[in-house]
Amino acid sequence: MAVVFGTRPEAIKLAPVILALKAESFLNCRVCVTAQHRKLLDQVLEVFGIVPDADLDLMRPDQTLSELTARAILALDAYYAQNRPDLVLVQGDTTTVLCATLAAFYHRIPVGHVEAGLRTGNLFAPWPEEANRTLTSRLAALHFAPTELSRQNLIKEGIPQGRIFVTGNTVIDALFHVLPQVRANPPDIPGIEPAEWARWDGSPLVLITGHRRENFGAGLESICRAIAELARQFPDTQFVYPVHLNPNVREPVKRIFEAANAGNIHLIEPVPYVPFVALMDRSTLILTDSGGIQEEAPSLGKPVLIMRDTTERPEALTDKTVRLVGTDQQKICREASLVLADRSTNQGTVR
């Protein structure tokens, strides 16, 4: 069988699965990476000690989705033709997932889809992920749903119940794989001096991630203005933002925060997985438009404000730690202020 992935989130969520598969002597588990995210992917592979059997190395600067899709299908077509796996395993909702599934379909190779059944019901939020996972479900043979709600979504779409398996979420397995190491030997955070990190001891810390394509432009600028306003309102709180490599993220982030000139906003490069877990574990509040963090942060008891209009993980919203706030500047400021103004909410609730 072949496990195919290309991004940091896929690598994190598939790492526990790959380690378990490789422990089974009757399985020949091969790892093929597209390197849709080159640097970020390699960091995760190193953490879990996974060495790919095939590296398609598809990442190119400023590539469009169409360019990546075309090259990925061609490269995966050649990989399947040469290796003929009995099963292809994919995870999530990336361009790699869709291309790996479609190319496998052309070769009549069955596909198992990890984290199947997540839905917002809006093809443009998140974009293009909602379309990627929906199309993958039409072609996959096996569907590994993280929750009962995800299973029900698949059943409503006509997926045979005998092909759906509720497995739980593998990102939690990955998180608790590294968490003991993080707490026993706290890692340095690249971009933050250890002495400065030590001075923050006892101070509130807000961790930010923002990179969704549907937020590019006005949405991301509104998010940045909200963070700048919060930094002014709460000068004793540290705001740490590992900035995604995409130029559509970096340009507005740099422009707006340089203008804000707030000493408690810290823009750093994307950090490896282990230091990022340390940042989550240390945080008072997390502001994110990510998918996986909606699952990881509540497991750590951290309040989360989701800066999106929809979520494919509505189960998280039943927990008092998670709130959907969109990209409106005033709403982000209002909801974050409630958490930061009342330190009792650090125990893991969002009003």
Residues recognised as catalytic: 93, 115, 129, 211, 213, 244
Q: Report the DSSP pairing between strands 30-33 and 54-55.
A: parallel
Q: Cα(265)–Cα(208) distance, rounded to whole angstroms?
A: 10
Q: Cα(157)–Cα(133) distance, rounded to whole angstroms?
A: 13
Among 62, 124, 144, 135, which Cα is nearest to 98's?
135
What single-letter DSSP state applies at residue 109? -
Q: Which residues of 8-33 are buried (b: 16+ CB within 10 A; e: fewer)?
A: bbbbbbbbbbbbebeeeeeeebbbbb
Q: Cα(48)–Cα(31) distance, rounded to whole angstroms?
A: 13
Greatest alpha-carbon pair distance for the chain in Å reads 59
Q: Cα(351)–Cα(346) distance, rounded to whole angstroms?
A: 11
